[in-house]
Amino acid sequence: MATTNWTHDELVIAFGLYCKIPFGKIHIRNPDVIALAKALGRTPSAVSWKLANFARLDPSLRQRNISGATHGGKLEQQVWEEFNGDWNRLAFESERLLANLSGMFVGQPVSTLPSGINRAATVMVRVNQSFFRSAVLAAYDGHCCISGLSVTALLNASHIVPWRVDQSNRTNPCNGLCLNAILDRAFDCGMMTVTPEYRVRVSSRLLSKKNDPSLKGVLCRYHNQPINLPTRFRPSSAFLEYHNRNIFVPQ
């Protein structure tokens, strides 16, 4: 295994992984940590320690009095400052560098594309969407932030400000909520929102349907309840205000 100093590109890859796994699962037995260690020619211990070094720079963890590693290098901080907030670039660069390291092509193969669609742009969208989903689900430890459902196949990373509206925040994990499929649909079409105070608000047109017990069970029961906040990437109040004003249909 290599004992050389970490390079800038290796740290970009590690930062990408840091965003995609729950903080509590940063350890040497995590399969993703083991896989990255193998790709980099390093030990799982070295990779997990480097992820913990990124955790020390994470303000969302400091707010919860979690410090991560106590020491780190200047280059880690430089990579954090370079990419933190530039989520679209981090998502694609971390995957591109990892693919190059493994001798693969970045993203999923694109066999056929409609005329006029740029292949590279399509691959980038797919990579960024995958990063966003992984980062949001990891932030909520794989649980719906409202219902608590933990079946991954039934969970969505829901954009607060829609993908089509704000290109610069398409991959920003603070623009996401982990919701089960039904709540995701209700959120997307404005039948439900989350206030900047992190409480669920359901449209009165649904609350008024007293004769639909199934609706109460899957959605209306959560009206005015607080969401379960993530360990990282707390939803931006500005994004939630946008959803409340422009997407939510209160009546």
pLDDT in tens, 142-154: 999 999 999 999 9
Token representation of residue 118? 């740029």
Q: Does residue 28 belong to any structural domain of this protein? A: yes
Residue 126's pLDDT is: 80
**Residue 67: domain span:** 8-102
Token representation of residue 132? 């966003």
Q: Does residue 204 belong to any structural domain of this protein? A: yes
Q: Give me the number of domains the chain comprises.
A: 2
Could you count the other beta carbons within 10 Å of the beta carbon of residue 248? 20
Q: What is the pTM of this model?
A: 0.86
Q: Does residue 231 belong to any structural domain of this protein? A: yes
Same domain, 241 and 152: yes
Q: Quick check: 146 and 181 in contact, CB under 8 A?
A: no
Same domain, 147 and 80: no
Q: CB-side exposure of 50: number of CA atoms within 13 Å?
A: 30
Same domain, 87 and 19: yes
Per-residue pLDDT at 103 exceeds 90: no
Same domain, 157 and 227: yes
In degrees, rounded to 5, the angle at the alpha carbon of residue 224 between the alpha carbons of residues 222 and 227 is 65
Q: Give the confidence band of 3 by pLDDT, cuts at 50, 70, 90.
A: low
- What torsion do the CA atoms of 181, 185, 188, 192 make, to the nearest 10 degrees? -100
Token representation of residue 64? 């919860």
Q: Give the confidence band of 85 by pLDDT, cuts at 50, 70, 90.
A: confident
Which single residue is written with the structure tokens 């400052």?
81
